[in-house]
Amino acid sequence: MDPLTHFLDGPRAARAFALSVHMSAPWGIAVRDNAALTVLAVTKGQARVDGMLLEEGDVALVRGPEPYEVTDAAGSVPTLEIGPGQRCTTVEKHDVRDELRHGIRRWGNAKDGETSLLVGTYERPDQAGGIVARALPRLAIVRQEDADSTLVELLARELAHDDPAAQVVVDRLLDVLVVSTIRGWFDSPESSTGPTWLTCDDPIVTKALEQLHAAPEMPWTVGSLADHVNTSRASLAARFRSTVGEPPMSYLTRWRMTLAGDLLHAPGTRTISQIAHTVGYTNAYSFSTAFRRHLGLTPTEYRHHHPALSDGDGTR
């Protein structure tokens, strides 16, 4: 399995917050929902995300949890605010959920404004995939000519109805749209500053990455990894550093921390010790020490340092 396939295997929406937004100028929204990842597709008109223009047909991915603004024009001042749990208020904190709701998954200051957006939000890091959240830029835009309009149309159609199992269909369409958008972004000139390991074409390094991704719990050394890919230790170390930008064991540690972050936020009752063994540490102490060194928080602190999952029904 190539590195990009591992990367794209992350998004797993579960009762995702998704809706169709219809706005009439002037308008501005300050988004402070702490979400891990948001996909925005412009289906009519245009909008700006932190000043970057999105036109009809464009799709953007916004990596959280930092706040951002979506407005009708450059310099527009937000009058609405989206907070944790997708709670909508004015900037003065007046609740306007009912005032701006026009159906179960339709929202905005107009029933049919000159701008329409599709919005899908992955609220927790484990839903978006920690690899996605860390490797994407703050804002990744795929222009209309490279975006998958068919997926956008399918999602728009599903959001327009409240059919049985609609939420399940919305979740899966959202996952596919995110994956398609990521692929489109990596094919664009803007991705040239992205992580080189995702498009690695060195067959030896690709095989090494596959080994590390598939079995992070193994007690890897550069020597044992070299044996698995049938090359010398020195050759692997040089080629890995040249292609990926860091030594194999440094990369392995980062990969383990990424997986651990996802597991810490995933539903369930895995203990710190169980997670430690899953990602290749013999005990919770050594895992906690490595985790804090890389992320600045203990695993327990990290586990509790995210917003609560909301009900995701699109009616808030």
Residue 245 or residue 92, greater confidence: 92
CA 297 to the chain's CA centroid: 21
Q: What is the pLDDT of residue 78?
A: 95
Give the whole-angstrom CA distance, residue 42 versus residue 44. 6
What tokens appear for 153 in the block? 């149309």
**Residue extents of the structural domains in the chain:** 3-193, 200-304
Residue 222 or residue 311, greater confidence: 222
Residue 78, beta-bridge partner list? none
Q: What is the pLDDT of residue 214?
A: 85
Sign of CA dihedral 252, 263, 312, 80: negative
**Band of the pLDDT at 35, cuts 50, 70, 90?**
confident
Q: What is the pLDDT of residue 245?
A: 78
Lowest-pLDDT range of 85-89, 167-171, 203-207, 265-269: 265-269
Q: Which whole number is the average pLDDT over 185-208?
A: 74
Res 311 pLDDT > 60: no
Contact (Cβ atoms closer than 8 angstroms) between residue 109 and residue 29: no
Q: What is the pLDDT of residue 8?
A: 61
For domain 200-304, give the CATH superfamily. Answer: Homeodomain-like (1.10.10.60)
Q: What is the pLDDT of residue 307?
A: 38
Res 187 pLDDT > 90: no
Lowest-pLDDT range of 142-146, 254-258, 296-300: 254-258
Supply the pTM of this predicted model: 0.70
Lowest-pLDDT range of 106-120, 163-177, 237-251: 163-177
- Burial of 131-143, coded b for 16+ CB within 10 Å and e otherwise, reads bbbebbeebbbbb
Architecture of domain 3-193: Sandwich (2.60)
The burial class, CB within 10 Å (0-12 / 13-18 / 19+), for 60 is buried
Q: Tell which residue, 215, 237, 241, has the closest CA to residue 226.
A: 237
What is the four-CA torsion angle of 88, 19, 108, 95, rounded to 10 degrees?
Answer: -20
